[in-house]
Amino acid sequence: DADVTQTPRNRITKTGKRIMLECSQTKGHDRMYWYRQDPGLGLRLIYYSFDVKDINKGEISDGYSVSRQAQAKFSLSLESAIPNQTALYFCATSDPGTADYEQYFGPGTRLTVT
């Protein structure tokens, strides 16, 4: 089974709708991240959480909110979706206890806002 899972994998929604993307991990990592990927722009950080009580904005947090329900779960919400939020969204985790701070990525959620 995958260590980092995301649901849904694909979603089409209409402008103005609220939508939640969910991320779960079985790696036991404290740190979790949400990124979006647009063609030609690489990955941009939306929000990150270093533990259950810690939530931080990334470089493009406007229009998004997050919830860290447990160590294993980190959800991303679009309160009122707009077409320019159409993108590929990735969740990732990392373990601060290791010497190497590599991140482990989920398979992604492809979101289309019409």
Partner 1 sequence: SQQGEEDPQALSIQEGENATMNCSYKTSINNLQWYRQNSGRGLVHLILIRSNEREKHSGRLRVTLDTSKKSSSLLITASRAADTASYFCATQETSGSRLTFGEGTQLTVNP
Residues that bind partner 1 (CB under 8 A): 4, 33, 35, 40-45, 48, 58-59, 88, 90, 92, 96, 100-108, 110
Q: Distance between CA 5 and CA 67 in Å, rounded?
A: 16
What's the rounded Cα separation, in Å, for the pair 7 and 32?
A: 15
| Residue 71 CB coordination number (10 Å) | 17
Helix ranges (H only) for 1-114 are none
Task: Please report how close the Cβ of residue 112 comes to partner 1 at its closest, in angstroms.
Answer: 13
| Residue whose CB is less far from partner 1, 73 or 110 | 110
The nearer residue to partner 1, 18 or 40, going by C-beta atoms, is 40
Question: In the complex with partner 1, which residue's Cβ is closer, 15 or 108?
Answer: 108
3-state DSSP helix/strand/coil percent for the chain, to nearest 5? 5, 55, 40
> Least CB distance from residue 105 to partner 1, whole Å?
4
Instruction: Write down the least CB distance from residue 70 to partner 1, Å.
Output: 21
Least CB distance from residue 18 to partner 1, whole Å?
25
Nearer CB in complex with partner 1: 19/106: 106
* The three-state (H, E, C) secondary structure of 26-50, written as one string: CCCCCEEEEEEECCCCCEEEEEEEE
